[in-house]
Amino acid sequence: MSLLSLFSALSRPANSPPLRLPLFAHPVRAGFPSPADDYVCDTLDLNEHLIPHREATFFVRAKGLSMIGAGIQDGDLLIIDRSLNPVHRAIVIAVIDGEFTVKRLYKRGGKIRLLAENPDFSPIDLQEGQELQVWGVVTSVIHRLRP
């Protein structure tokens, strides 16, 4: 089975009941601490929050450091939405010559490039005869702080 057909087969998430967890009313400050509040104002289902187009969404794990400047680290879980239009500056999952990559899309003046978010990696400029397929738009990154 090719990687493309494997992604196609796995791209539909399983239907699962909502998992609603407490959402506290007050944000947590990243600067100076404030008194804690135990006031829950709502509940939040991460499926609803992170996946607006269920049938077009899939997950993939990032490998490598080329997108570190965009907050994507090696091993992070990416949420990809295939129903979104890949616009200029979107972070996309692209297929070039049968190989998957995650990069920032550059579309200006008829020129298309794939840009890394790490100065150690060169941009990918499409060469004559190369085929580029944008497979989906990265909508969220799940980065674990602890194993």
Question: What is the rounded CA–CA span in Å between residue 86 and residue 60?
Answer: 17
Selected catalytic residue, list 2, 8, 16, 66: 66
Q: How many helices (H) and strands (E) does the chain have?
A: 2, 9
Selected catalytic residue, list 5, 16, 34, 103: 103
Per the annotation, the verdict on 103 as an active-site residue is yes
Q: Spell out the residues 6+ positions from residue 121 whose beta carbon is closer than 8 angstroms to its own.
A: 66
Positions marked catalytic:
66, 103
